Amino acid sequence: MKQLKYIFCFLFVTIASNIVVAQDMIVTNDGTIIKAKVTKVGATEVEYKKWTNQDGPIYTVKVSNLIAINYQNGEKDTFSNLPSNSQQIATTNTQATGNVQVTVESLSPEARTANEAIMAKLNAPVELVYPEKHKDDIGKKDAGAAYIVYGLKSNSVIANEDIEIIGKIGCLYKENKNAPAQWKEGNISTSVSSGSVGKILSNISSDLTADYSNPAIKISIRNKSDKILFIDLGTTYIGSMGNVTCYYVPSSTSSSHGTSGGASVNLGSVAGAIGIGGAVGSLANGISVGGGSSNSTVSTTYSQRIISIPPRAIIDLEPQYLFGNEKKKICEGAYLDLPYSNYSYIFIPKIYFNKKAERMLVGDHYKYTEDNSPIQFNFIMSYSYDECCASTKTLSAYFYMRDMLGCYRTNLPLYRGKLPVDFVGLSSWVYVKSWNVNESFPKQ
C-alpha cells in the first residue's frame, strides 16, 4: 500500500503536467503535496510561500526530500528521490511525522553542553546572606519564614539546538476576589527601596500578601535558531503535585450585530496526559483553531492552539499557579492556606513543624534530593518546524525543591537573611510555623 502511494505521486505529477492548475504543487518523497508559490529552486533547497498566504514568510524544503514540482503553468521539475524499497519508505515516514521525545542522551554534543551549562547555573549551591548584626539569631530563634530553592533533575532537557526554556517564579496577585489575577515577579526581601517603606508601614498585611500570595511560575521560550518555530499549546503542560494544566484552553467567541459572547468548545481531557518520566501519552483533544467562520450577521473566532516564535525571539507563556488557587494540602506538613479571614482570594503556602520535636530555626538549611524531595513540578512542551505540527519534538524539564533555608521574619517584609544578589535560580517564599501539630514537614 505504501508503494502504491508513491506510484500515485508519479501519476499525479505526470497528469498534472498536462493540466494548468491554480498553484504550484510540491510533491515530497513521503507523498505529501504542498500547495505553494515557488519563489526559488536552488541546488540544495527550494524556497516557497504557502499558496494561502503569499504575503507570509518564506519556507524552505531540501531538494533531497522532493519527488517533483508541478508549476501552475504546466511545467514541472522532477527529482530522483523516490525510495527504492519498502524499508526506505518506512524510514522516511517515521522521520516525517509523529513525536520525538528529546532526551539528554539524544542531544547533540553542542546542545548537551548548552543544556548542562544552564542546569549547572540553576543547580549551583546557595546559602543565605545575613547582616553581621543579625548573625546571633542563627541557630537560636524560630524561623518565621523560609526560602525554597528549586533545582533541575538530571534527566531534564531545558535547551537543545532550537529551544531554551526560561522559568521565573512570582505570584498571581488579585486586588479583590473578582478581579483578574495579575502576574508579579520577584520578592520583597531583595527589592524593597527606602521610598516604599512608608507605604509598607501603612498597609503591611496588604504588601505581604501581594508579593507572596498564590505563587506562580511564568515560562518563556527562546528560539535559538534562524527558523520560525511553532509551539503546540495542546501538548504543552505544567504539572505540579499531581495536578496537570494544559496551556491550551479551547474556547470560542461569537459576535452578532455588535454583541459578543463566549462559549466553551471541546475542552478535551488531560487526565493521564503526563506519565512517569514525562512521556506524553493521551493528548488533549481539540478542534481546528486559529481561524473562524463568518456570515453577514455572525462571526466566530476560535482560540489559537498553535503559536509561532520568530527566529532569535522570546515569547512568554501565560503564568500558571504552582499549587493552585484554593485552600489545599500541598504535601505532608505543607498547606496553601488563607493568611487572614478577610482575604478569601489570597492563598499563601505555609510550612508546619512540630514545636517540640521538629522546629525549624533561623539558619537551618534542609537539603533534598531528586528522589526524596516532597515538592516537585515539571514543564513539558512540544514544538515543530511546521505550523501543522504533524512532526514535533518534546522537551521536558523536571523541577524539585532542592533547598529550604530558614530565616527570621521581622515586622517589615525585610528579612534577616536573604539570597545572594547574584543568585540566578528559581525560588519562592513560604511562612514557617512551629506549632503543636500532629504532622510535620520532612527535614533533611
pLDDT tens, residue by residue, 89-118: 333 333 456 888 999 999 999 999 999 999
C-alpha 268: how far from chain center:
19
The whole-angstrom separation of Cα 434 and Cα 143 is 8
Judged by phi (left if over 0) then psi (alpha if -120 to 50, else beta), residue 95 lies in alpha
Quick one: cell of 94? Answer: 517515521
C-alpha 443: how far from chain center:
30
Mean pLDDT, rounded, of the chain: 74
The whole-angstrom separation of Cα 91 and Cα 215 is 46
How many other CB atoms are found less than 10 A from the CB of residue 71?
18
pLDDT tens, residue by residue, 150-187: 999 999 999 999 999 999 998 888 777 778 888 888 64
Would you place residue 253 in the very low, low, confident or very high pLDDT band (cuts 50, 70, 90)?
low
> Which one, of 155, 67, 179, 32, lies nearest residue 104 by Cα?
155
More confident residue, 140 or 80: 140
The whole-angstrom separation of Cα 67 and Cα 10 is 8
The whole-angstrom separation of Cα 52 and Cα 23 is 10
More confident residue, 378 or 436: 378
pLDDT tens, residue by residue, 272-308: 333 323 333 333 333 333 334 434 445 555 578 899 9
Q: Which residue has the cell 491554480?
A: 22
8 A C-beta contact, residue 152 and residue 437: no
The whole-angstrom separation of Cα 411 and Cα 396 is 41
**pTM > 0.85:** no
Q: Which residue has the cell 524539585?
A: 400
The whole-angstrom separation of Cα 119 and Cα 158 is 8
8 A C-beta contact, residue 160 and residue 395: yes
Above 70 in pLDDT, residue 257? no
**Helix/strand/coil (H/E/C) assignment for every residue in 50-77:** EHHHCCCCCEEEEHHHEEEEECCCCCEE
Above 70 in pLDDT, residue 9? no
> What pLDDT does residue 22 have?
63
Pairing between β-strand 426-435 and β-strand 348-354 as defined by DSSP bridges: parallel
Q: Which residue has the cell 518520566?
A: 277
In which residue ranges of the chain is CATH 2.30.30.100 found? 2-96
Reduce the DSSP state of residue 95 to 3 states and report it. Answer: helix
The whole-angstrom separation of Cα 120 and Cα 140 is 33
Which residues in 256-294 are b (16+ Cβ under 10 Å) and which e? eeeeeeeeebeebebeebbeeebebeebbebeebeeeee
All residues at 6 or more sequence positions from 35 whose CB lies less than 8 Å from its CB, including other chains = 23, 24, 25, 50, 51, 52
8 A C-beta contact, residue 273 and residue 280: yes
Counting every residue written for the chain, the total comes to 444
Fold classified for 2-96: SH3 type barrels. (2.30.30)
The whole-angstrom separation of Cα 368 and Cα 4 is 58
